[in-house]
Structure 1
């Protein structure tokens, strides 16, 4: 990582390739991305404060370079593209607040909170999100990058987050851990070997409407790739259903009492899997 950009080495031939803030925008223009993300400098946790401050300031400079490159070009495929600046600052309150205030001044159509789920505790994640969102306009979409587990998702929604991306549902699905509204189950457990019920009787996904727990367990034990696809599809469907219900609860004014238990229950081990 340098001020110019980030250099990667090819795993195929060992050649080096530099991705600058301008190049990243050019690539996303070329692939027709709806949300165009500028290059940012991510640091893990724990982190030295000086390192975190340097990364946050570099991210700010890269955002400005990315914005200039974005404004100098046009969409290539006839649909609108939106630049979404990313703010860093690690888990230092003053750095987060400072970066959020500067990003808010860009008057962007959406904002991303980066530097999350990099080794910190859930409480730190939530505090960083809350501090980051404070200066950002409430009428623009706010995106929490890398969040998260069901309980972290609902906690972020309560703070005002609108968008998420995370490997949790698909990574767990590929490893035989399935989310239900009653908790997580590990379908490899022997107790499911002759269980003819669906994973979740209320779920409309291809797994739950077609196959039994016993059959899915067989697929995992046999190393069949179909197991990975079905597990991922189920977990994604469950996440979509969770957020669908969150929207309904917000409209009904019952979100907060529901969210306090719903996410925690989904993220815990189901009683039948104990």
Structure 2
């Protein structure tokens, strides 16, 4: 997330929710919620790639889950993760949960989000209701959480109870990635502590631009073999053009800093 002046778009302003607005600069279209904070972005010449580095880092679960069956995105943003997962994992069921109908509509119209089909479902609902629904428990292989309002002061949902419900949604080998961002450093500690209470293992990568920190949380702690992870990172780079080696380096740095 970063701060630049938005251009209001009256087509996506259903009452009761923040309006979805856009800016364009040097070939990149950015999504806002009526404020200057960037909620997502798309390069117009490469609409199916992931433009923002912190969003690409949300895909680091690929190091541990090469063939997920069900992927859930909480918070649609500019649909970058949802589009990428739908295109690159055709065997998976991809679900995006978004409360703001303006975001869903602008993603369909201006950010290349395809219509729902047999493997893609976009649900207009509260993320808390989704994770609290017993029908979703134990069924999600990958859960990606990026929940921010128009002011981006911190995650909209950040309690231990929320993260417990997220853990409940995961299959036994399930993984959650989450973006922790805010205008107060206490946001980091609050969210990380809550995750550590509810997941078997939690790690995070070094901070990227605009103070975004990406966390990976495991339902059950995996065995870490860095030689294997570097091999997988090379395959991810070759197949998906994501710099996964940086993710492995970040995890290695985290384990070194938190040893003992």
- TM-score if structure 2 supplies the norm length? 0.33
Larger Rg: 1 or 2?
1
Say which structure is richer in strand: 2
Say which structure is richer in helix: 1
- TM-score if structure 1 supplies the norm length? 0.32
Question: Which protein has greater RCO, CA pairs closer than 8 Å, 6+ apart?
Answer: 2
